[in-house]
Amino acid sequence: MEQQTAVMITVEDAAGFLAAHDNYLIITHKQPDGDTLGCAAGLCAGLRGLGKQANILKNPQTTRSYTALTAPYEVYTEDLRGYTLVAVDVPAKANAQVNFPYKENNIKLLVDHHSGHPGFAERNLIMPHLASCGEVVFLILKSLNAEITPEIANALYTAVSTDTGCFRYKNTTAETLAAAAELVAFGAENGRINYELFTVKRLSRIRLEAAVIAGLEFYGGGEVAVASITPAMIAAADADEADMEDLANIALMPSGVETAVTLREMSEGVTKLSVRTANKPNAADICRQLGGGGHGMAAGANIKAPLSEAKKMTLEAVSIN
């Protein structure tokens, strides 16, 4: 059963828990991004460096952009008994990776930075003022006096860079930049990572972007942009799941857009919603009305409705905010 009262802890508490226990299995979230996977890899490597047994539960939705990052630490098992379960960057237990039976297993420690949820693990370290969960993991490893190797620095830099859009988003603070600079000093290959994640693109991704841009719709005098993505568009571009990453930012690109809505038609009448905002941090408020959540400037939801209906529901939610 879900816990009714979550225990909130400090960075030092989290470090003390990790120092006192062993045999860790690290859980990431559905449709994993660089933050959850970078956190998992960095934490796992740090724990191993301290002599702990630690692995990442292989996430079947990991795309080719991040497979090399987590591959050295992954195990695939359906029997989670005996493991000390740690979740990183998971905003709700139901958002844990698809092969995690969240109803039957108890997460001992949650490390996160999402706002708007009370925590669901036995111990919860949630720091919503930080731009990325990677910064939280970095603080824990430093509290543990773990050696920050170049491999760990690369993983955590990936986490920080991903959740700040290569330091372009408004969630980027002086603290974020200081953490990134420190990681570079520890050996993070910032140039390579930023190039691979934010510059180079496959032709399939470029074709898909072109189709999304061509189909943009505008509402509210141009302040709201809606991008629709269908299976036919994806097939025509010969795109895969890795090509879907960060597509939600395209609708925010036109001048004057304040709220960008991206709707992706999934299987069985489900539409995936992503909302990005330029100045007003209400993306999470919009998505909460539709059963989702996230950050002030970036949030999402899965709507149990076909794309056309999901668009109407989303525009109604946007108008309220």
Provide the pLDDT for residue 267. Answer: 79
Within a 10 A sphere around the Cβ of 114, how many other Cβ atoms? Answer: 21
Overall average pLDDT of the 120-133 stretch: 96
* Per-residue burial over 21-55, b = 16 or more CB atoms within 10 Å of its CB, e = otherwise: eeebbbbbbbbbbbbbbbbbbbbbbbbbbbebebb
- Tell me how many degrees the CA angle 202-159-107 measures, rounded to the nearest 5: 120
* Residue 117 clears pLDDT 90, i.e. is over it: no
Does residue 274 surpass a pLDDT of 50? yes
Strand arrangement, sheet containing 123-126: 74-75, 54-57, 24-27, 84-88, 109-112, 123-126
Tell me what pLDDT residue 5 has.
66
Tell me if 272 sits within 8 A of 266, measured CB to CB.
yes
pLDDT for residue 294 = 81
251-266 tens-digit pLDDT: 999 999 999 999 999 9
Average pLDDT score over residue span 31-52:
97
What average pLDDT score do residues 282-304 get?
90
Residue 1 in this model has a pLDDT that exceeds 80 = no
* Better pLDDT: 234 or 5: 234
Which pLDDT belongs to residue 121? 95
Given a cut of 90, is residue 35 above it in pLDDT? yes
Is the pTM above the cut of 0.85?
A: yes
Q: How confident is the model at residue 3 (pLDDT cuts 50, 70, 90)?
A: very low
Q: Which domains does the chain have, with CATH numbers?
A: 11-198 (3.90.1640.10), 203-320 (3.10.310.30)
Q: For residue 53, how far is the Cα from the chain centroid?
A: 25
The arithmetic mean of pLDDT across residues 1-16, rounded, is 81
Average pLDDT rounded to a whole number, residues 230-250? 94
Q: Give the pLDDT score at 315.
A: 97
State percent of the chain over pLDDT 90.
Answer: 85
Taking only the tens place, the pLDDT of each residue in 137-170 is 999 999 999 999 999 999 999 999 999 999 998 8
Arithmetic mean of pLDDT, 173-184: 98
**Spatial contact of 160 and 178, defined as CB atoms under 8 Å apart:** no
pLDDT tens profile 54-112: 999 999 999 999 999 999 999 999 999 999 999 999 988 888 999 998 777 899 999 99
Mean pLDDT value across residues 226-238: 97
The stretch 194-215 carries a mean pLDDT of 96
Q: What is the mean pLDDT of the chain?
A: 94
